[in-house]
Amino acid sequence: MKYVIGNWKSNQNLTESLIWLENIKSLCPRLPKDITVILCLPFTDIAAFNSKLSEINLPLITGAQNVSHLPPGKHTGEINAHMLSELVSYCLVGHSERRRDFKETCVDVAQKAKALLENTITPIICLDTPYLDEQIKELFRFDVDVSKCFFVYEPLAAIGTGKPQNPNSANIIAHQIDFLIDNVSPILYGGSVTSDNANSYVSQNQIDGVLVGTDSLDPAEFCSIIQSLS
Ligand code: PEP
């Protein structure tokens, strides 16, 4: 199985999201069977997006972009894994923008991954080389079952810059992640992926898919990325 994951970040209100969905339905009416497509949406879009998806019968899977590390309780404004469990099957954790702008630590990420698994949501854990060992060590310290997680190698220099990493170098890091987790979990690459380069990553022996930020917002480009892999 190959994976294409879209990360919309803090973009698209509900009206815009539903227009995106209509467009993708007409551009990509049938998604290839060997590709799982997951869209990590803003919290505010997920419920209505799910209803529309079942109405139009498009096998897209929804995910979230973040989750609280805390359990249900007196934590004003937090969205926890229990709340998300009725809405999504996947959730990003540890994106470098959250580490940079919200000071998320490897411990926070391990706690979030644990909370997600306890609520049967698959964590999609974003990694870069400066904290690769530390992050994976924390996952083991918190008893996170890494065989139930997805991992994404996202080099900081490639995110949102239009400067993707060389696919061979990305594959070497993907091998390193595979060695450290010592398990069979999907490992993806993210960072300036487009329809022109997506297949050069997925054709590497250790890379199972791509995480797409900027180009997931454009339905035509996102559809081309999916089709480029089939
Ligand atoms: C991302 O932010 O996860 C990402 C991969 O962004 P972009 O595709 O824009 O580089």
Give the Å distances, CA to CA, from 79 to 46, 73, 139, 145.
13, 10, 21, 22
Residue among 52, 63, 181 nearest 127 (CA): 181
- Catalytic one among 75, 82, 95, 134? 95
User: Closest ligand 1 atom to the C-alpha of 190?
Assistant: 5
What is the domain partition of the chain in residue ranges? 2-229
Q: How far apart are CA 190 and CA 154, in angstroms?
A: 5
Higher pLDDT: 230 or 107? It is 107
Q: Quick one: pLDDT at residue 30?
A: 86
Phi-psi region of 187 (alpha: psi -120 to 50; beta: other; left: phi over 0): beta
Q: How far apart are CA 196 and CA 180, in angstroms?
A: 30
DSSP per position, 133-152: HHHHHHHHHTT--GGG-EEE
Mean pLDDT of the 127-151 span: 97
Half-sphere exposure (Cβ direction) of 183: Cα atoms closer than 13 Å: 14
Output the average pLDDT for the chain: 97
Nearest-CA residue for atom 8 of ligand 1: 213
Residue 175 annotated to the active site: no
Tell me the β-bridge partners of 37.
4
Nearest-CA residue for atom 3 of ligand 1: 213
Ligand 1 centroid to residue 7 C-alpha, Å: 7
- Catalytic one among 55, 138, 154, 175? 154
Chain segment 73-92, per-residue pLDDT in tens: 999 999 999 999 999 999 99
CATH topology of domain 2-229: TIM Barrel (3.20.20)
Chain segment 110-133, per-residue pLDDT in tens: 999 999 999 999 999 999 999 999
Q: How far apart are CA 94 and CA 118, in angstroms?
A: 18
Predicted confidence (pLDDT) at residue 29 exceeds the cutoff of 90: no
Q: Quick one: pLDDT at residue 53?
A: 94
Q: Is the overall model pTM greater than 0.85, yes or no?
A: yes
Residue 154 annotated to the active site: yes
Query: What is the CB < 6 Å shell around ligand 1?
Result: 7, 154, 159-160, 190-193, 211-214
Mutate to test the pocket of ligand 1, among 125, 212, 216 (most ligand atoms within 8 A of CB): 212
